[in-house]
Amino acid sequence: MKVVLQNLTKRFPDRNKKGGDVIAVNDFNFEIPDGKLIGLLGPSGCGKSTTLNLISGLEAPTSGKILFGEDDVTRLPPENRGVGLVFQNYALYPHLTVLENILFPLQNLKGADKLTKPQMLEKAKAAAKLVQIDGLLDRKPSEMSGGQQQRVAIARALVKMPRVLLLDEPLSNLDARLRLQTREEIRRIQQETGITTIFVTHDQDEAMSISDMIVVMKAGVVQQIGAPQDVYDKPVNLFVATFLGTPPINVFDGQVKNEKLFVGNQAVLPVPGVKDQQVVVGIRPEGFILDEQGPLEVSLRRVEVMGRDTSVVSTHPASRNAQVRSIIPARNRVDRNAPTVRFSLMPDKVHVFEAEGENKALWASPLDQ
Ligand code: ADP
Ligand code: MG
């Protein structure tokens, strides 16, 4: 089921009655294609949960529309929208068994949707099997791990075969290993069922790894929408460039003079077509090439061996961060005692942004177009 947001806006009155209202969701216009997994990504407070709550019907928009397919659902109550919801805290009924928890949404169906006991059991067992907890149906939630409880919550959301599955930071309560495992599970379940799924997270790694498409948000405003790799490779502004990637992109003050890009006073790349101005330069950690003749010289602080590759930690006077981090292949040895190291740069890993305003992208490497 495709989901369309049209001029969708949600204002909350200011809680402290001081400044103006909070615009949690500011004029969203985008379409979530049928059968895809979309990651809604942004820092805490940027409006992710509010967007999800508008789609589920838990919140009413201030203005704008929500369509499921051709169906305008903007005024429909949540129970009539056909959505499945999963939150960070699993919100299972503690006194009910796993099976009873999963059955619960089926027991309140009315009229034509009403099911017989055997039909309900069949659906609940199918949902349990899908999330691989069919061996635990008689347990109480307290007798299960966090990861297992979250699977029960997902089964409960899936048991009515929703038109849209909405997941709000579903992995936040799990430890690191379970988080990895469960996100892959969510991807598998989504692909097996083909249910259009919206996955909210503040963790870029999580969103990038399982989404067909990510929507990067900041302060209630959509910044960029696209396939994860495209957004990573072609960020539209400094915020998006900084938000995606671990370790994060290195940020420098720079300028363009005579179509040359300077980081501090070092000319690092030709940037044909860009007019003279102050700029902000972002260089991905993997964009540095160890090169004695290279144009960018940094002061070496330390070298961290990571096995597959090596992390060179340095400083540079034009860096906006305390440290510059470069990731190079492990076979390229760095002289740990050298005071400085020189690099050349991969043009497609260098991003140039306006120094003012929203720091919009100014230039993309010809390699990258
Ligand atoms: P996220 O899920 O991205 O962390 P939220 O959607 O929860 O962000 O919140 C977005 C903004 O809206 C925040 O500034 C938050 O304080 C505000 N907000 C959310 N819900 C309410 C509410 N019920 N009343 C007032 N302000 C709210
Ligand atoms: Mg939230």
Ligand 1 atom with the smallest distance to the CA of 220 is 10
Mutate to test the pocket of ligand 1, among 8, 11, 12, 217 (most ligand atoms within 8 A of CB): 12
Dump pLDDT digits (tens) for 108-122. Answer: 888 888 899 999 999
DSSP secondary structure code for residue 337 in this structure: T
218 & 250 share domain:
no
Residues 244-269: pLDDT tens digits? 999 999 999 999 999 999 998 899 99
Does any ligand 1 atom lie closer than 6 A to the CB of residue 45?
yes
Query: In the numeric block, which tokens belong to residue 100?
Result: 């009873």
Backbone phi and psi for residue 157, each to the nearest 5 degrees, phi listed first: -70, -25
Same domain for 247 and 212, yes or no, is: no
pLDDT of residue 367: 57
As residues whose CB is below 5 A from the ion ligand 2, the structure lists 49
Burial (Cβ within 10 Å: 0-12, 13-18, ≥19) of residue 273 = exposed
Nearest CA to ligand 1 atom 16: 45
Q: Domain check: are 69 and 51 in the same one?
A: yes
- Whether 369 has a pLDDT exceeding 50, the answer reads no
Residues 157-193 pLDDT 10s: 999 899 999 999 999 888 888 889 889 989 999 999 9
Ligand 1 centroid – CA 252 distance (Å): 32
Q: From the DSSP assignment, how many helices (H) and strands (E) are in the chain?
A: 8, 21
Indicate which residue's Cα is closest to atom 14 of ligand 1: 45
Average pLDDT over the chain, rounded to whole? 93
Which residues pair with residue 303 across a beta bridge? 312
Q: Domain total for the chain?
A: 2
Residues 42 and 164 in one domain: yes
42, 202 in Cβ contact below 8 A?
yes
Q: Is the CB of 49 under 6 A from ligand 1?
A: yes
Q: Is the pLDDT of residue 88 over 90?
A: no
Give me 334's structure tokens. Answer: 């760095």
253 and 223 in a common domain? no
Task: State the distance from the centre of ligand 2 to the C-alpha of 22, rounded, in angstroms.
Answer: 15
What's the mean pLDDT in 309-318? 97
Look up residue 16 and give its two tokens.
């402290």
132 & 250 share domain? no
d(CA 251, CA 244): 13
Is the predicted pLDDT of residue 17 greater than 70, yes or no? no
**Domain span at 279:** 243-368
Assign residue 222 the CATH number of its domain. 3.40.50.300
**Considering only 277-281, 330-334, 357-361, which range has the smallest mean pLDDT?**
330-334
Computed on alpha carbons and rounded to an integer, the radius of gyration of the chain in Å comes to: 25
